[in-house]
């Protein structure tokens, strides 16, 4: 393969794209809110949040020296990440705490890339992350879920024009930022209805740290809301620079 062509392709991958039209940024934000707020759609789209959630557990399990065994995604949009290592201590705490903030942090990372015009980088980085998750998925539904998501990202990145790629990328970022908050609220509602010892991440962290589970719920909510605010600022900044409508 020609070294020059590889270098040229790499340069095109990293090259920033122009800021998208202001209406596309706002339209994708509204659509993301619909996908999160409308229950029938949420039942379908929540699977993407579960992939990010379990991916967060898996990543930090590896980063803290634990051995990652499997990721399972269930049809009710729940999931499970299995790792082995010391059952207590900082590594286990970080691994357990990583799930709920993971979609928000991923959305924030997307927002940072989009704010600097790196739409193509964001799409191909998503493919790489999905491939990494797929390696550890151990059930049929989970494999199908990751493959469908990967096919959608690949199709847009390979066949879509600049406008479609930007729209898809902004929708993904808005969706992850907005959708990260709802599972935290759902978890807390489930905890309030549950009798006996809880099995949620917050309850697991309460047993590991001897801190109230509600404190961990608040931590998750604060992390997700902070990412939403920061991500919004990052994605609106390029649009505000180009369009007087958003300037004071």
pLDDT in tens, 184-242: 999 999 888 876 566 899 999 999 999 999 999 999 999 999 999 999 999 998 776 65
Q: What's the DSSP call for residue 18?
A: P
Q: pLDDT tens digit string along 16-52?
A: 788 889 899 999 999 999 999 999 999 999 999 999 9
Query: Domain ranges in the chain?
Result: 19-186+196-246
**Could you give the 3-state DSSP secondary structure of residue 71?**
strand
Instruction: State the DSSP H helix or E strand holding residue 123, giving kind and residue range, or none if neither.
Output: helix 119-136
pLDDT at residue 8 tops 60: no
What is the pTM for the complete model shown?
A: 0.91
In 3D space, the residue among 72, 214, 81 whose CA is nearest the CA of residue 144 turns out to be: 72
Query: If you search the block for the tokens 């800021």, which residue do you land on?
Result: 19
What count of residues does the chain have? 248
Instruction: State the DSSP H helix or E strand holding residue 68, giving kind and residue range, or none if neither.
Output: strand 67-73
* Whole-number Cα distances in Å, 245 to 171, 172, 174: 21, 24, 21
Task: Please state, in angstroms and rounded to a whole number, the distance separating the CA atoms of residues 89 and 32.
Answer: 37
Q: What pLDDT sits at residue 11?
A: 60
Task: Please state, in angstroms and rounded to a whole number, the distance separating the CA atoms of residues 175 and 195.
Answer: 32
Task: Please state, in angstroms and rounded to a whole number, the distance separating the CA atoms of residues 170 and 119.
Answer: 9
- Taking CA 36 as the corner, what is the angle to CA 160 and CA 193, rounded to the nearest 5 degrees? 150
Cβ atoms of 137 and 81 closer than 8 Å: no
At 44, list the tokens. Answer: 């379908």
Chain-centroid distance of CA 165 in Å reads 18
**Could you give the 3-state DSSP secondary structure of residue 182?**
helix
Instruction: State the DSSP H helix or E strand holding residue 205, giving kind and residue range, or none if neither.
Output: helix 201-209
Residue that wins the pLDDT comparison between 177 and 77: 177
Computed on alpha carbons and rounded to an integer, the radius of gyration of the chain in Å comes to 19
Q: What pLDDT sits at residue 19?
A: 83
In 3D space, the residue among 228, 117, 230 whose CA is nearest the CA of residue 175 turns out to be: 228
**Phi and psi at residue 80, to the nearest 5°:** -150, 130
In 3D space, the residue among 233, 234, 205 whose CA is nearest the CA of residue 219 turns out to be: 205
């Amino acid at each position: 393969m020609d070294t020059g062509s590889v270098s040229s392709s790499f340069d095109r991958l990293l090259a920033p794209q122009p800021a998208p039209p202001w209406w596309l940024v706002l339209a994708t934000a509204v659509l993301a809110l619909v996908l999160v707020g409308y229950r029938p759609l949420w039942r379908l789209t929540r699977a993407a949040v579960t992939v990010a959630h379990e991916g967060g557990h898996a990543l930090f399990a590896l980063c803290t020296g634990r051995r990652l065994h499997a990721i399972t995604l269930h049809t009710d949009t729940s999931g499970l990440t299995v790792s082995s290592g010391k059952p207590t201590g900082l590594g286990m705490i970080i691994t357990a705490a990583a799930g709920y903030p993971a979609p928000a942090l991923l959305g924030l990372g997307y927002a940072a890339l989009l704010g600097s015009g790196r739409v193509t980088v964001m799409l191909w980085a998503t493919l790489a992350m999905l491939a990494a998750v797929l390696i550890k998925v151990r059930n049929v539904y989970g494999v199908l879920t990751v493959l469908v998501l990967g096919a959608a990202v690949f199709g847009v990145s390979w066949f879509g024009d600049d406008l479609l790629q930007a729209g898809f990328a902004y929708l993904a970022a808005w969706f992850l930022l907005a959708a990260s908050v709802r599972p935290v609220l759902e978890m807390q509602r489930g905890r309030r209805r549950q009798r006996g010892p809880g099995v949620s991440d917050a309850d697991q962290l309460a047993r590991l740290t001897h801190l109230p589970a509600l404190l961990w719920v608040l931590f998750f909510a604060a992390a997700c809301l902070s990412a939403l605010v920061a991500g919004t600022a990052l994605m609106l900044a390029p649009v505000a620079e180009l369009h007087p409508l958003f300037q004071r």
